[in-house]
Amino acid sequence: MSLNVELLEQNFQKIKPHAGEFAASFYENLFAAHPQVQPLLAQTNMEKQRKLLLASLVLVVENLRKPEVLEKALKNLGAKHVGYGTIPEHYPAVV
Ligand code: HEM
CATH code of the domain in which 62 resides: 1.10.490.10
**Is 32 part of a structural domain of the chain?**
yes
Do the beta carbons of residue 26 and residue 49 sit within 8 Å? no
Q: What angle do CA 37, 39, 94 make, to 5 degrees?
A: 20
pLDDT of residue 90: 87
The model carries a pTM of 0.91
Pocket of ligand 1 (CB under 6 A): 30, 37, 40-41, 43-44, 49, 52-53, 56-57, 77, 80-81, 84, 86, 90-91, 93-94
* pLDDT one-digit tens code per residue, 37-76: 999 999 999 999 999 999 999 999 999 999 999 999 999 9
DSSP state letters, 23-88: HHHHHHHHHHH-GGGGGGGTTS-HHHHHHHHHHHHHHHHHTTT-HHHHHHHHHHHHHHHHHHT--G
48 domain residue, yes or no: yes
Q: How far is the CA of 87 from the centre of ligand 1 (A)?
A: 12
Range of the domain at 88: 18-94
Measured CA to CA, the distance from residue 38 to residue 42 in angstroms comes to 6
Q: Is residue 69 part of a domain?
A: yes
The reply to whether 8 falls in a domain is no
